[in-house]
Chain A
């Protein structure tokens, strides 16, 4: 079955530590996204990538970094500069529409990684 796999499901970060969240998709989608979800709030976009080796900052990119070396993979690193990292992190992907943009395509989500501070 095609889908998006996020790992680990739970992750704990120590003070001053960088941690990397994994996101892999086998849907052959061009675009991938990282969102952060806090209790009672909507998803907020951290970073997105529409093509391999290219990515753009979302609304809350500070304290995070990403890479897109392969079409299937879009890992997110939560750096020590992110002072409030405790949240539920969701990865998503979508395919290009006929016009070459992803604007009207639904997003397919993984089941998230819950990050907490030790």
Chain B
């Protein structure tokens, strides 16, 4: 079965620095990879989607890369702000698994002023 690994340890970072999160997967190659933000007690909010034939995607201060050879996605938050503090989830859509999204466990980010 598909396994998705995100760093379970919280990432503490100083305001203004770049936060980098990893999402590693095994077995099947996903068709799409999505990143979501989740605040405590709230539902996830969609941030970015990157396709298997795309290397990089940007949205404002966010950047996502997708390396199908390494089976890894990196999620960058540049010029981080305390308001960026949240848990970030990656989710993979695998065609071989019936086109359903499979979520990683998320990485908590804490941006200190």
Question: Chain A: how many interface residues by the 8 Å CB criterion?
Answer: 25
**Smallest CB separation, A60 vs chain B (Å):** 12
Check A92–B43 contact: CB distance below 8 A. Answer: yes
- B106 contacts across to A, CB distance below 8 A: 42
Query: Of B45, B49, B105, which is within 8 A of A109 by CB?
Result: B45
Q: Is the CB of B105 within 8 A of A40?
A: yes
A117 to chain B: closest CB distance in Å?
19
How would residues 90 to 113 of chain B score, 1 for a CB under 8 Å from any chain A CB and 0 otherwise? 010101000111111110000000
Interface of chain B residues 46 through 87 with chain A (CB within 8 A): 46, 49, 51
CB distance from A8 to the nearest CB of B (A): 14
Q: Does A116 contact B (CB under 8 A)?
A: no
Residue of B nearest to A88 (CB): B41
A103 touches B31 (CB 8 A): yes
Whole-angstrom CA separation of A107 from B93 in the bound complex: 12
* Interface: B8 (CB within 8 A): yes
Residues of the A chain whose Cβ atoms lie less than 8 Å from the Cβ of B45? 109
A50 to chain B, nearest CB (A): 10
Q: In the complex, what distance in Å separates the CA atom of A32 from the CA atom of B44?
A: 15
- For A107, the chain B residues whose CB sits under 8 A away are 44, 46, 101
- A41 lies within 8 A of B32 (CB): no
Binding site for B on A (CB under 8 A): 4, 6, 35, 40-45, 48, 58, 90, 92, 101-104, 106-112, 114
Beyond A42-B4, A42-B102, A103-B95, list 7 extra A-B contacts (CB 8 Å).
Answer: A40-B8, A45-B100, A48-B100, A107-B44, A111-B41, A112-B41, A114-B41
